[in-house]
Structure 1
Amino acid sequence: MCGRYSVVIDEAKLRKQFTKELIKPADGLPANYNMAPTQNGLVITDQAPDRLSSFRWGLVPFWAKDLGIGARMINARSEGIEDKPSFRRPIRERRCLVIGDSFYEWQRRDGKKTPYRILPTDESLLVMAGIWEEWRPKDGGDIVHTYSIITGPPNAEMEPIHDRMPMLLLDDEQQSSWLDPNAALPDILGLLRTPPDGTLSPYPVNPQVGNVRNNGPELHERLT
Structure 2
Amino acid sequence: MCGRFALVQEFTEIEEALGAPVEAFPPRYNIAPTQPVLVVMGGPPRAPGSNQPDRTSMLVRWGFIPGWVKDVSKFPLLINARSETAATKPAFRAAMRHRRVLIPASGFYEWKRAGRKVPQPYWVKPANGGVVAFGGLMETYAEPGGSEIDTVAILTCAANEQISHIHDRMPVVVKPQDFARWLDCINNEPRDVADITQPVEPGFFDAIPVSDKVNKVANTSPDIQERAEVAEEPPQKPKPKSAGDDQLKLF
* Same fold (TM > 0.5): yes
**2:138 corresponds to 1:132:** yes
- Map of 2:35 onto structure 1: 39
User: Contact conserved, 1:156 with 1:198, CA < 8 A, in 2?
Assistant: no
Aligned equivalents of 2:224, 2:127: Cα separation in 1: 18
1:223 is aligned, of 211, 228, 248, to: 228
User: What is the identity, as a one-letter code, of the residue corresponding to 1:184?
Assistant: E
Report the TM-score, using the length of structure 2 for normalisation.
Answer: 0.81
Structure 1 vs Structure 2: percent identity of aligned residues?
A: 32
Aligned equivalents of 2:75, 2:221: Cα separation in 1: 25
Matches within 5 A, 1:47-62: 47=43, 50-62=55-67
**2:181 corresponds to 1:177:** yes
Between structure 1 and structure 2, the one with the greater Rg is 2
**Greater CA drift, 160-169 or 101-110:** 101-110
**2:117 corresponds to 1:111:** yes
- Map of 2:127 onto structure 1: 121
- Map of 2:249 onto structure 1: none
Aligned equivalents of 2:193, 2:88: Cα separation in 1: 14
Ranges in structure 1 where 5+ consecutive residues have no aligned partner: none
SS of equivalent residue, structure 2 residue 165: coil
Q: Deviations over 1:76-122 (max 9, x none)?
A: 01122111000000000000001110100001233221100001111
- Map of 1:202 onto structure 2: 207
Aligned equivalents of 2:16, 2:74: Cα separation in 1: 36
User: Contact conserved, 2:69 with 2:75, CA < 8 A, in 1?
Assistant: no
Ranges in structure 2 where 5+ consecutive residues have no aligned partner: 45-53, 230-251
23 and 17 in structure 1: CA distance in 2 versus 1, 3 angstrom threshold: closer
Report the TM-score, using the length of structure 1 for normalisation.
Answer: 0.91
Q: Deviations over 1:17-61 (max 9, x none)?
A: 24x4x3224xx2222111111000011023475222101001111
Aligned equivalents of 1:69, 1:91: Cα separation in 2: 23
User: What is the identity, as a one-letter code, of the residue corresponding to 1:122?
Assistant: N
- Map of 1:6 onto structure 2: 6
